[in-house]
Structure 1
């Protein structure tokens, strides 16, 4: 009985008191009684065991409604330049995911967070949503708007622990509603943007992530993730290939 998804040890004991000791017993039980004594979730499980579909599974091919990329910094920092690099990195990652699902974003949200568990530090966790000039998946436009948002929410005197970028109001690129004010020139710019981003994504897929990127991150910046206990990556990094010495 404990092998049934969602049925834990305590629930097994309560079901046993009703004479339900196997998945077969649960499938044959009265669903309404199961719901009354336990929950609607267990009722659905009982119905599923009978072959009645009632638990919706996530559609992994469904396009996301929003895309967020964020990560805690390797160490606390108040350096605006380092934070700007982190936001730029997250913005590019989000734009890549957006293009993979053939989407466009209408707005960008940037957020920062201090460490809420450090009572000895001043706390400040701002966020700001800015509308993009037009629906886009162009990394350049997304990073420009994200940079503007960062400049407006950043405050000196705080040690930041985390930052991130969220792409909002996503739409399907094939269903984009063009403005009546669009001109042939703006349409040509849109096509050039799509070709440039496609070329970048193709190179990064073929040659490895970050082969082509916007802006060079500073080595050893505070926002880089700490990997002190990471095992050597023999199969993916030339510089970490195992060597033998006689």
Structure 2
């Protein structure tokens, strides 16, 4: 503000509780707030927030639930509540992984491929949440090393993406390519995982020299599609909109025999009063 408004002469001292501070926050667009990237601006706009004042007046707990701890801290800082020490340095995550142990050993190619696709979709969601892009997709499979009576095989493969992306479709395609390269029949696998590596800030990506208005328009359409996908899943529950459906009794699903009942999120698990 001190830099953009000539009246301050480059120096601006404000008290958080002053009317002047609130008036100035109303003039600051969200994309001028440090750490709020283009994708976050679009998602916040869908919630009716367009200025720094809007974010300052938001419920910080709701911001954390819908976005991240980092944005919650920004919200609190705008309220005048210090959250970050002067020596704190937030480091961008350079990899995002989703992996699970299967409910039972399986050598079924289709079931394992379904698991890889589910993990790739989840990793892409995490990637967009932190406003990053991935340059490569790493996939691994593991047999049970505690079963020496069974053949052992724990392969992995990495597929580089043509351009850094957070598009679930491109990430799914790369994950499927990696899976096809490493899967072998007759091995009973117990675990699989997908890792997105070599991450870059979505707001600082280096574009190709061959970038054209058409390619930029397509990229913007893809961004809107992913934002819509995330918004629907955020509003109606994860997995509401997805790329392909998995069998509910597939081997890779976790065993949930000891899971706490989901009384507040599932109609069929509501407690019954007798």
- Normalising by structure 2, we get a TM-score of 0.67
Shift of 1:120: 0.4
Query: Which residue, 140, 146, 162 being the options, matches 1:133?
Result: 162
Shift of 1:73: 0.4
- Secondary structure in 2 matching 1:221: coil
Query: Which residue, 199, 204, 210 being the options, matches 2:228?
Result: 199
Give the unaligned 5+ runs of structure 1: 1-55
- Secondary structure in 2 matching 1:244: coil
Give the unaligned 5+ runs of structure 2: 1-84
- Secondary structure in 2 matching 1:174: coil
Q: Aligned equivalents of 1:179 and 1:116: distance in 2?
A: 44
Distance 1:214 1:176, change over 3 A: same
Which residue in the other structure is 1:83 paired with?
Answer: 112
Two-structure CA RMSD over aligned residues (Å): 1.7
Indicate the structure whose relative CO is greater, using CA pairs within 8 Å and at least 6 residues apart. Answer: 1
- Secondary structure in 1 matching 2:191: strand
Shift of 1:231: 2.6
Q: Aligned equivalents of 1:223 and 1:113: distance in 2?
A: 12
Which residue in the other structure is 1:150 paired with?
Answer: 179
Distance 1:235 1:60, change over 3 A: farther
| Cα distance per residue 1:55-86 (max 9 Å; x no partner) | x9x96954311001100000000011000110
Moved over 6 A (4+): none
The structure that has the greater radius of gyration is 1
- Normalising by structure 1, we get a TM-score of 0.74
